[in-house]
Structure 1
């Protein structure tokens, strides 16, 4: 079987930017801040394109959810080599409150509509760091899942995924259809070349809303406060082990 691949891409604050919390602690400052594609999603896109280049996949469809600016991220995926894009438009005000569960329902609906049998997502986005969308999408669809993939092999109906787990590596065989989440060592994403950036301008991008897909964006999670991590306090020097143990006892740590 050839794979029809949906690949998820998210526009996030660029990894090199220092994050600033808003004065009212409602979130982080995004205005006038450099954004780019989530690094794990670049790896997901690269893997999907490689499957197509090896003739294991017929089509790679890039999907993004979010406000108008998300289209830039979609164009990057198309310039890398995705065949077409789907932009699920979520206005900025709603987008702030949209979590992995709502996004997973959107992916599930799109997978059904597009008759996809493989979804590749980044293992997590570097903004929310949730690491939930792939798992939830697999649950909503009742598909097999291979998360934290550092290697992926497709043979007919069988997908072999090497997973990065705490104790080392785990190899699993999945029956398609499946959801895979990409870890850091899966591949080295390509840069979009100028000719491909030009070609991407002609590729189709469909626009939809969550309502078109029958997905309710209401979330039961409410953000109460966003705060900077506490400043690290200065340490103290001790002369020897006895003094160290004494200090730890004083602090009630031993």
Structure 2
């Protein structure tokens, strides 16, 4: 079974800074991690490889420092990692990102299953996975929280607001996964050491290494228009109520009535 996983390196902080000129996040000096739902996708891919055999390839689009995330992906069980990195990709919205990743995936080969996390914590759009599937002309199942592979078919539990539906389709297929599908493993010490010793476990591709339409890349080609960006602030402060338990309850009820909560 040939499996590919899309991962993204995201800021590991709530204290974000924003470039006021183009509305994008400033990532310099901010600690980074693999996007949590992408790590769930990677765990499921490695689990399927262990069960059915095959190969797991991980692809990411980002700056050179995203290699750190790919080293962790290799340590978790990936066989090969690809970093799509070029200044031409900077500022891409979901449309330009999905196009670029889809072109990279085409260059990487043919895959039975492509895994993506449902969404990234720095954008929360849940658009890139489905857009990749559309670019590849591939069927997709989103919000996967349970998965079985039987021969050439996959059967997925797709989460709904009030339960789940069961969807079955033939491979190849793209799946976006959510929390609850599995619990990602910790990388073994052996794999961590191997990741830093194996120099060729990460391939870096620029626009010279795979076929792309330069007019569809980066900020200038992104149709999303950012109206405004800001860092949320918490202006309300907590209040401690004085008195015994009965007095505190009475004061709390008064305040809730004033706020028309009760």
TM-score (norm 2): 0.81
CA-atom RMSD, angstroms? 2.6
SS for the counterpart of 1:44 is helix
CA–CA distance in structure 1, aligned partners of residues 89 and 104 of structure 2:
20
CA–CA distance in structure 1, aligned partners of residues 25 and 101 of structure 2:
26
1:58 and 2:61 equivalent? no
SS for the counterpart of 2:114 is strand
Q: Tell me the equivalent position of 1:160.
A: 155
CA–CA distance in structure 1, aligned partners of residues 82 and 25 of structure 2:
27
1:193 to 160, 177, 188: 188
With 174-183 and 215-224 compared, the bigger mean Cα shift is at 215-224
Q: Tell me the equivalent position of 2:100.
A: 106
Q: Tell me the equivalent position of 1:47.
A: 44
CA–CA distance in structure 1, aligned partners of residues 252 and 89 of structure 2:
50
With 41-50 and 110-119 compared, the bigger mean Cα shift is at 110-119
Q: How does 1:1-254 map to 2 (within 5 A)?
A: 3-14=1-12, 17-22=13-18, 24=20, 26-55=23-52, 57-91=53-87, 94-95=89-90, 97-113=91-107, 114-201=109-196, 202=198, 203-210=200-207, 212-215=210-213, 216-217=216-217, 218-229=221-232, 231=234, 233=236, 239=254
1:195-246 deviation digits (Å, cap 9, x = unpaired): 10111231522221246331431212233431123546579966499x66xx
The answer (yes or no) to whether the contact 2:84–2:104 under 8 Å persists in 1 is no
CA–CA distance in structure 2, aligned partners of residues 240 and 233 of structure 1:
15
CA–CA distance in structure 2, aligned partners of residues 240 and 164 of structure 1:
39
More helix by share: 2
CA–CA distance in structure 2, aligned partners of residues 190 and 49 of structure 1:
10
**Alpha carbons of 1:23 and 1:121: their partners in 2 closer, same or farther (altered >3 Å)?**
closer
**Alpha carbons of 1:143 and 1:11: their partners in 2 closer, same or farther (altered >3 Å)?**
same
The answer (yes or no) to whether the contact 1:28–1:226 under 8 Å persists in 2 is no
1:165-206 deviation digits (Å, cap 9, x = unpaired): 112111110111100011000100011121101112315222
TM-score (norm 1): 0.84
1:4-59 deviation digits (Å, cap 9, x = unpaired): 11101111011xx232334848444422211111111111111000010002x511
**Alpha carbons of 1:41 and 1:119: their partners in 2 closer, same or farther (altered >3 Å)?**
same
Structure 1: gaps of 5 or more residues: 249-254
With 117-126 and 105-114 compared, the bigger mean Cα shift is at 105-114
The answer (yes or no) to whether the contact 2:98–2:128 under 8 Å persists in 1 is yes
TM-superposed deviation, 1:112:
2.8
Q: Tell me the equivalent position of 1:251.
A: none
**Alpha carbons of 1:151 and 1:222: their partners in 2 closer, same or farther (altered >3 Å)?**
same
